[in-house]
Structure 1
Amino acid sequence: MAVGMLRSMWSYRGFISGSVKREFQSRYRNSLLGAAWTVLNPLAMIVVYTVIFSQVMRARLPGVDSGFAYSIYLCAGVLTWGLFAEIVGRAQNVFLEHANLIKKISFPRICLPVIVVFNAGINFAIIFGLFVLFLLVSGNFPGWTFVAVFPVLMIQVVFAIGLGIIVGVLNVFFRDVGQFFGVLLQFWFWLTPVVYPASILPERILPIFNLNPMVPLVTAYQDIFVHARWPVWSSLMFPAALAAVFCVVGIRMFRKRVGEIVDEL
């Protein structure tokens, strides 16, 4: 099943790359600042959170002496959460947004979530590249531990696209799913230690808090960039397993319902 899907996507690689290019260009067409908005939106969010929370949190990041510590902490969480939220948020509506294309053209429908991942990846690469440049210039680059970003990032992307496909298929048949999930994402953000460290939470709620699969992922990024240390790999087994399960379930749901999706649209 997986091999067949990969072959189909490879056969339509021109369609995928062309769609990614067109979407990126159309997003910033007739915009004076163009792709700069990719940087400005998360930057504004980071500045606001830094101004509001820096005085509160400065003394609550244990073992950190850098003056940029909280800003780096925020960037590590906000930028990577943004990638997750964009993939899942776009994937939940991808079949609805491309309803006309799905009805008129015959192509592997699984290409659409792949296009979502590539588009989100391009936006993330721009802002993340600037973040890494800032770390280099300010002398806060984590060194060899930086390579740990890539396996963590891979787990996060697989988790996001698996969840996105599940929600996207459900959203075709039950339109309230998309609305509900948008609200859920907002709560999910604040239940993840993006703005605050988990160390400030009461110990009695930590077992429940740690059931959030984004907690070990975001914590791993913060360990790398703030503390320049390797992530606790064992803590990533839960989100990695969940990512695999979501992908299998999502692809099976999609393959089983793909004919009904076309009819429903």
Structure 2
Amino acid sequence: MAIGLVRSAWNYRGFIIGSVKREFQSRYRNSMLGAAWMIINPLAMIVVYTVIFSQMMRTRLPGVESHLAYSIYLCAGAFTWAFFAEIIGRSQNVFLDQANLIKKLNFPRICLPIIIVLNAGLNFVIVFSLFVAFLLVSGNFPGWAFGWLFPVLVIQIAFSIGLGMILGVLNVFFRDVGQLMGVVLQFWFWLTPIVYPLNALPDLARKAVELNPMTSIVSAYQDILVRGRAPDWMSLAPATALALVLCFAGMQLFRKRSGEMVDEL
């Protein structure tokens, strides 16, 4: 089944690449600053959180003593979360937003989640590349440990697209899913150690936050980029297993309900 979906997507790779290109161009068309907004929005958030929380939180980060180090810690988590949230936010509405396209054209529906991941990935690569350039200029590049980012990124993408596919299918049949996830993502952000470190929480709250699969993923990025060390792979094992389960469940649900979705759109 998975091989068949991959083959179908590969056969329509021209359609996928063209859609990614058109969407990226249309997003900033007629905008004076264009793609600069991609940088301005997260940068504004980083500045606000750094000003508000740096003095309070940097004393709780082991080995972190400067405002700059806390900003790197914050960026590592915030950019990771933004990538995750964009995939989830767009995946849950992908079949509804593309209803006209689905009804008029005959193409593998699996192309739509792939387009979302590629668009979100393009945005992430642009923003994260500038962040890496800042690390190099400021002398805070983590060195060889940077290579550990790639397996962590694969785990994050698998988790995001697996959950996103399930939400996207469910939202076609139950429209409250999209509304509910908007609220869930707001709480989820604050239940992930992005602005604060885990050791700043009481024991009971820390144990609850550790159950969050995004905690281990975000912490892996922070370990690599802030502390220059490999992530704790044992802590990533549950998130990896959950990502695989969600991808499998998402593909099964998509395969079984893809025909019915057209009638519901």
Fold conserved between structures, TM > 0.5: yes
**After superposition, where does 1:94-109 map in structure 2 within 5 Å?**
94-109=94-109
Q: Could you say which residue in structure 2 is the equivalent of 1:112?
A: 112
Kindly tell me the number of residue pairs found equivalent between the two proteins. Answer: 265
Which whole-Å CA distance do the structure 2 matches of 1:63 and 1:132 have between them?
21
**Deviating more after overlay: 57-66 vs 218-227:** 57-66
Q: Could you say which residue in structure 1 is the equivalent of 2:197?
A: 197
Q: Could you say which residue in structure 2 is the equivalent of 1:172?
A: 172
**After superposition, where does 1:165-244 map in structure 2 within 5 Å?**
165-244=165-244
Which whole-Å CA distance do the structure 1 matches of 2:217 and 2:46 have between them?
19
* Kept in 1: contact 2:213–2:238 (CA 8 A): yes
Q: Could you say which residue in structure 2 is the equivalent of 1:254?
A: 254
Query: Which one-letter code corresponds to 1:21 in the other structure?
Result: K
Which whole-Å CA distance do the structure 1 matches of 2:234 and 2:54 have between them?
30
Q: Could you say which residue in structure 2 is the equivalent of 1:63?
A: 63
**After superposition, where does 1:18-33 map in structure 2 within 5 Å?**
18-33=18-33
Q: Cα RMSD (Å) of the superposition?
A: 0.8
Helix, strand or coil for the counterpart of 1:51?
A: helix
**Alpha-carbon deviations, 1:105-133, whole Å to 9, x = none?**
00000000000000000000010000000
Which whole-Å CA distance do the structure 2 matches of 1:258 and 1:44 have between them?
40
Q: Could you say which residue in structure 2 is the equivalent of 1:7?
A: 7
**After superposition, where does 1:41-190 map in structure 2 within 5 Å?**
41-190=41-190
Helix, strand or coil for the counterpart of 1:35?
A: helix
| 2:39 corresponds to 1:39 | yes
Query: Which one-letter code corresponds to 1:257 in the other structure?
Result: R
* Kept in 1: contact 2:55–2:67 (CA 8 A): no
1:67 Cα deviation from its structure 2 partner: 4.5
Helix, strand or coil for the counterpart of 2:222?
A: helix
Cα 1:65/1:51, change in 2 over 3 Å: closer
Which whole-Å CA distance do the structure 1 matches of 2:204 and 2:250 have between them?
34
**Alpha-carbon deviations, 1:180-209, whole Å to 9, x = none?**
011000000000000000101111233222
Q: TM-score, normalised by structure 1?
A: 0.99
1:22 Cα deviation from its structure 2 partner: 0.4
Which whole-Å CA distance do the structure 1 matches of 2:88 and 2:147 have between them?
25
Which whole-Å CA distance do the structure 2 matches of 1:183 and 1:242 have between them?
22
Which whole-Å CA distance do the structure 2 matches of 1:67 and 1:172 have between them?
45
Query: Which one-letter code corresponds to 2:8 in the other structure?
Result: S
Which whole-Å CA distance do the structure 2 matches of 1:12 and 1:107 have between them?
8
Helix, strand or coil for the counterpart of 1:32?
A: coil
Which whole-Å CA distance do the structure 1 matches of 2:55 and 2:118 have between them?
37
Which whole-Å CA distance do the structure 1 matches of 2:242 and 2:22 have between them?
33
Q: TM-score, normalised by structure 2?
A: 0.99
Which whole-Å CA distance do the structure 1 matches of 2:152 and 2:196 have between them?
20
Query: Which one-letter code corresponds to 2:148 in the other structure?
Result: A
Query: Which one-letter code corresponds to 1:183 in the other structure?
Result: V
Q: After the TM superposition, which parts of structure 1 deviate over 4 Å for at least 4 consecutive aligned residues?
A: none
Which whole-Å CA distance do the structure 2 matches of 1:18 and 1:138 have between them?
37
Query: Which one-letter code corresponds to 1:10 in the other structure?
Result: W
Helix, strand or coil for the counterpart of 2:121?
A: helix
1:62 Cα deviation from its structure 2 partner: 1.2
1:63 Cα deviation from its structure 2 partner: 1.4
Which whole-Å CA distance do the structure 1 matches of 2:194 and 2:175 have between them?
29
Where structure 2 has 5 or more consecutive residues not aligned to the other structure, the ranges are none
1:60 Cα deviation from its structure 2 partner: 1.2
Helix, strand or coil for the counterpart of 2:107?
A: coil
Which whole-Å CA distance do the structure 2 matches of 1:259 and 1:29 have between them?
35
Query: Which one-letter code corresponds to 1:87 in the other structure?
Result: I
Which whole-Å CA distance do the structure 2 matches of 1:121 and 1:76 have between them?
16
